[in-house]
């Protein structure tokens, strides 16, 4: 996952460097206060369990599992 800054044309990679191989971080959304990102983490096989996780915008805080085997909630 990347956050792109249109002002200076730079980006920040907020995907965890310790992300398990063979998984994808999908459908990222900003929290209402724009301090965190909520996203789906799942295997790249397309049929495995989907976990809802969160991380901060710089990606330096380890991902936290919110819901196991779930679909993306409407974070309002």
Per-residue confidence (pLDDT) for residue 75, from 0 to 100: 67
Distance CA 39, CA 30 (A): 9
Q: Are 66 and 23 in contact (CB under 8 A)?
A: no
User: Which two structure tokens, joined as six digits, stand for 43?
Assistant: 């295997």
Which residue in this structure is represented by tokens 């724009």?
Answer: 34
Q: Please tell me the pTM assigned to this model.
A: 0.80
How many beta carbons lie within 10 A of that of residue 16, not counting itself? 17
Quick: pLDDT tens for 13-69.
887 666 778 888 899 998 888 888 999 999 999 889 999 998 888 767 778 899 999
CA angle 21, 27, 31 (to 5 degrees): 115
């Amino acid at each position: 996952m990347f956050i792109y800054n249109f002002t200076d044309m730079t980006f920040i990679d907020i995907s965890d460097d310790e992300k398990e191989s063979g998984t994808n971080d999908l459908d990222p959304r900003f929290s209402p206060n724009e301090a965190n990102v909520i996203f789906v983490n799942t295997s790249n096989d397309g049929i495995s369990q989907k976990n809802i996780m969160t991380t901060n915008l710089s990606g330096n805080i380890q991902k936290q599992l919110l819901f196991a085997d779930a679909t993306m909630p409407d974070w309002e």
